[in-house]
Amino acid sequence: MTALLKAGLIALATTAPGAALAEWPVDKPITFVIPYGPGGGFDTIVRVLAPELEARLGTTVTPENIPGASGTRGGQAVARAEPDGYTIGIYNIPGLTVSQATETDIGFELGDVTWIANIASDRYALAVAKDSPITTVAELCALDRPIRLSDTGVDSTSSITAVISFSIIGCEIQNITGYSGSNETMIAVMRGEVDATLKPLNSMQGYLESGDLRLLATLSEEPLVEGIPTTTELGYPEISSFGLNRVVGGPPGMPEDLVKKLSDTFMEITASPKFVEWAASTDTGLLPLDAPATEALMLELAKFYEKYAPLLLQTKG
Amino acid sequence: MGLDALFGAFAMIFAGGSLLYLLSGMMVGLLFGIIPGLGGTTALALLIPVTYALDPLDAMYLAGGVMGAVSFGGSVTAILLNTPGTAPSAATVFDGYPMALQGRAGQAIGAAASSSALGGIIGIFTLLLFMPFARQVVLSFGPSEFFLLAVLGLSAIAISVRGKLLRGLIAGLLGLLLAFVGADAITGDLRYTGGFDYLWDGIPLVPTLTGLFAISQMIELALKGGTVAEKSSANMKITGVWEGIWSSFKHWDALLRGSLIGTLIGAVPGLGGTVAAFLSYSSTAQSDKDPDSFGKGNIRGVIAPEAANNAKDGGSLIPTVAFGIPGSAEMAIFLAILVLHGISPGPAILIENEREIYGLIVALTLSTVFASVIGLMFTRWMVKITHVNVSIIVPLVIAISLTGVYVLEGRMADVVLTMVMGLVGYIMIRFDYPRLTLIIALVLGETAERSFHMVNLISDGNPVGFMVARPISVILILCTIGTFLLPLLRRKMAKRRVARSLVAKP
């Protein structure tokens, strides 16, 4: 009797994934976890993706903000959920990659997350105030004191990017952290408290258009803004690959067919004219990668930051 | 910029069904304001999905309705039950509740209504006046000014606790200790989290406030039994509402002071309405001819904080709209609504989204006025709460406020914290320690610590030299010194007067 039950359960378990896809998604809402509060970049992109997912999957997609603990609470919530495709989340990469490389407890294993798709990769840029006497990166480095930069927290992605980038360029920085949002870090530049700030290009767009900020360089291989040099042109190709990635993932152990269906759907969305147009209007750098490519990217990033872990641990004190 | 847009917005709101959104927002705001544990932040957060389907302008009316009405709702509970319905109403309990105990609840609510409405209007006009200078205002407040404002706020604690200075300082220091819990804002190191990741972001304000004020007060009431109002049926008639309304005009100086402090503190991100109301209360009490009458039912102690907590909405719109930096917790949610509707806050917003922004301003103005009027219409019934047996009030308030705390973030740990803080608050009531002092220190401690670290880094370890070179910082330093010196000076003058009158007598 028990053996029969066991056999039945095994049979059920083995057929489950196929059955899951056949039924998935039934009329049950999919929760899309955002590990930050409403209004930020991660929130916005999920809220743009959600209705597109709804239209293609035929079920409700509910964005849910689970902010807190530097964006790890949301990741933990996804990690705890059933791998049934009804809970997915968006991840801040390389923010979490760095946390894991520097052995900060994030409450879940990044390596266990089922990676579904990479959506965007925002390029970083370095900017100064419009009336700053500094016009090039070389001039910035030639100040006879450490360069003052503004950031939200030492473990924020842009702060880490700044630390690694300027160590490669070879000039000393003093990162002033504690600003409560990326807008405030830019205003700090305008107030003149700091010399420059390194931030995703799209988040600076408003102040670049109003003329309050002026770009010195973009961290990219290809020119992104006319007349502004790239780091590759300046001779630092290693730092051109930095970006802020917005990656979609799910709980550990999601069935492959489910992942493929979700991944394909995301690829379809990111290729749609509507989404491309939105990305262009908000200066979001699209980098659509399907599940296997995303997985590979994550491994590559983990290796890269592993290398810089000692440097990062040192700046953390 | 200007009046055309404003008049246009006024005309628009009276057209079509727009008024309906404003009124619904207002009713939600009043209700969420009255109930402890629920506040403007929760109301707006719950309304986000509703606004998704609305036209951006209607979404503004809804949000403006909530924001304008919520603080008056909170004051009603503060006056009647000694339990602020929302955080910014916490300072209203100082004199509002003693008034209710004396059977002057109608007068206190009348004063709260008129000063809320007038404070809101003054705040919005200050906003319109300063809109062209929004840039300069925001750019002249850096870490140095944030730090000094926080210090000024902390020093005001000493004034607000007249007569029990030591207890006030102990409660304040306890608040500062609690402010250190969580990740260090500069280094990201975790401190005093005891292995709970719940504490990574520090001790959250809403559960702490709800526990310290609502739960503890309910424990107190339950143990005391009977009804809130000490005098019985003889006082069932509500008198003095008109007198209360009129008192805001009579004490126009307290009203103006409260409104201006409210607008200023509102414009500084991270401080918010609780600090605004508290500072305007302590500043009014301190500069009064008879400071000892505060805390015993002085109507000026209701007018000043009430004016401030409505005026702060106008002020906090300055950084929110012009720079996308939320001036308060409510504004952070409001920002999300803006973004949802494709409006990106920033330097260009006043040009690109003039219609929505002026719509919001008009909604806020009308809401503060209407909420007061509607509130007054119900005063007669609301005051009866103080005559209802507490065995009915206590379980209701506890159940609803705990639900409210849970709804905000959906964390059970918040509910547990609320209960713990409720016990702490009850102990503080029993041993006569001021609870608001703890809250103010908890709010300001974080700002003070973080901005001091930043000033230290920016100035290469010479923070004093950096601060005295900035004009606004110098003004704030002088204000802080004045806060300590004024009581001493006054005592000296009083002594001299006594001496002179003694000499005059033969």
Distance from CA of A22 to the nearest CA of B (A): 31
Residue B202: phi and psi, rounded to 5, are: 90, 180
Spatial distance between the Cα atoms of B123 and B310, rounded to a whole number of angstroms: 7
Spatial distance between the Cα atoms of B97 and B108, rounded to a whole number of angstroms: 9
Give the helix ranges, DSSP H, for A32-177: 41-57, 72-80, 95-101, 137-141, 157-169
Cβ–Cβ gap A43/B339 under 8 Å: yes
> Helix or strand or coil: residue A115?
strand
pLDDT for B313 equals: 87
Residues of A in contact with B450 (CB under 8 A): 178
| Fold of the CATH domain A26-109+117-122+242-316 | D-Maltodextrin-Binding Protein; domain 2 (3.40.190)
Q: Which residue has the tokens 């030591």?
A: B166
- The beta-strand segments (E) located in B86-230 are 182-183, 190-191
pLDDT for B230 equals: 61
Spatial distance between the Cα atoms of A249 and A232, rounded to a whole number of angstroms: 31
Helix%, strand%, coil% for chain B, nearest 5: 80, 0, 20
Nearest to B200 among A68, A187, A209 (CB): A68
The answer to whether A94 and A157 are in contact (CB under 8 A) is yes
Contacts of residue A72, Cβ cutoff 8 Å, sequence gap at least 6: A35, A96, A99, A106, A107, A108, B197
- Bond into A35 cis (ω within 30): no
Q: Which two tokens stand for residue B263?
A: 């607008």
- Chain A interface mutation, best of B454, B460, B462, B466, highest count of A Cβ atoms under 10 Å: B454
Task: Spell out the per-residue pLDDT of chain A, length 317, in tens.
Answer: 444 445 444 444 444 444 455 677 777 889 999 988 766 778 888 988 998 998 899 888 888 888 776 678 889 999 999 999 999 999 988 888 888 888 877 888 888 999 999 999 989 999 999 999 999 999 999 988 999 999 988 778 888 899 999 999 999 999 998 887 788 899 899 999 999 999 998 888 888 888 999 999 999 988 888 899 999 999 999 888 888 899 999 999 999 999 999 999 999 999 999 899 888 877 788 899 999 999 999 998 888 888 888 888 877 65
Using alpha carbons, list the distances in angstroms from residue A211 to A128, A174, A204: 11, 25, 11
pLDDT for A7 equals: 47
Strand-pair category, A30-34 with A61-65: parallel
Amino acid at B284: T
Largest pairwise CA distance in chain A: 84
Using alpha carbons, list the distances in angstroms from residue B68 to B30, B313, B362, B439: 9, 8, 10, 23
- Chain B interface mutation, best of A106, A152, A183, A212, highest count of B Cβ atoms under 10 Å: A183
pLDDT for A316 equals: 61
Q: pLDDT tens digits, residue range B84-112?
A: 888 888 899 989 988 888 888 889 999 99
Spatial distance between the Cα atoms of A32 and A48, rounded to a whole number of angstroms: 12
- Note every long-range contact of A23-28, with CB atoms under 8 Å and residues 24 or more positions apart, other chains counting: A24/A84, A24/A85, A24/A258, A24/A261, A25/A57, A25/A58, A25/A59, A25/A85, A25/A86, A26/A59, A27/A59, A28/A59, A28/A86
> Helix or strand or coil: residue A198?
strand
Residues of B in contact with A70 (CB under 8 A): 183, 188, 200
Low-confidence ranges of chain B (pLDDT < 50): 1, 232-236, 506
Amino acid at B363: A
Amino acid at B480: T
Q: Residue A5 burial (CB < 10 Å; 0-12/13-18/19+)? A: exposed
Contacts of residue A126, Cβ cutoff 8 Å, sequence gap at least 6: A137, A140, A196, A197, A198, A215, A216, A217, A218, A219
Burial B243-266 (b: 16+ CB within 10 A, else e): ebbebbeebeebbbbbbbbbbbbb
The answer to whether A49 and A18 are in contact (CB under 8 A) is no
Nearest to B340 among A47, A177, A187 (CB): A47
Q: pLDDT tens digits, residue range B437-468?
A: 898 898 888 888 888 989 998 988 889 999 99
Ranges of CATH 3.40.190.10 domains, chain A: 123-241
pLDDT for A73 equals: 83
Would you call B201 an interface residue with chain A, using a CB distance cutoff of 8 Å? yes
The A-side interface with B (CB below 8 A) comprises: 37-39, 43-44, 47, 68-70, 72-73, 76, 107, 145, 148, 153-155, 174, 176-181, 183-184, 187-188, 190-191, 193-194, 206-207, 209-210, 212, 316-317
Nearest to B347 among A37, A194, A206 (CB): A206
Strand-pair category, A114-129 with A243-250: antiparallel
Of B67, B58, B75, B55, the residue nearest B26 (C-alpha): B67
Q: Which two tokens stand for residue B384?
A: 């009866």
* CATH of region A123-241: 3.40.190.10
Q: Residue B446 burial (CB < 10 Å; 0-12/13-18/19+)? A: buried
Contacts with A, B 394-413, CB within 8 Å = 409
- Per domain, the residue ranges of chain B are 3-504
Would you call B187 an interface residue with chain A, using a CB distance cutoff of 8 Å? yes
The answer to whether A203 and B157 are in contact (CB under 8 A) is no
Q: Which residue has the tokens 């986000």?
A: B48
Give the helix ranges, DSSP H, for A111-192: 137-141, 157-169, 182-191
pLDDT for B505 equals: 54
Cβ–Cβ gap A70/B188 under 8 Å: yes
Helix H or strand E segment including A92: strand A87-93
The answer to whether A149 and A194 are in contact (CB under 8 A) is yes
> Helix or strand or coil: residue A216?
strand
Residues of A in contact with B197 (CB under 8 A): 69, 72-73, 76, 107
Give the helix ranges, DSSP H, for A81-181: 95-101, 137-141, 157-169
Ranges of CATH 3.40.190.150 domains, chain A: 26-109+117-122+242-316
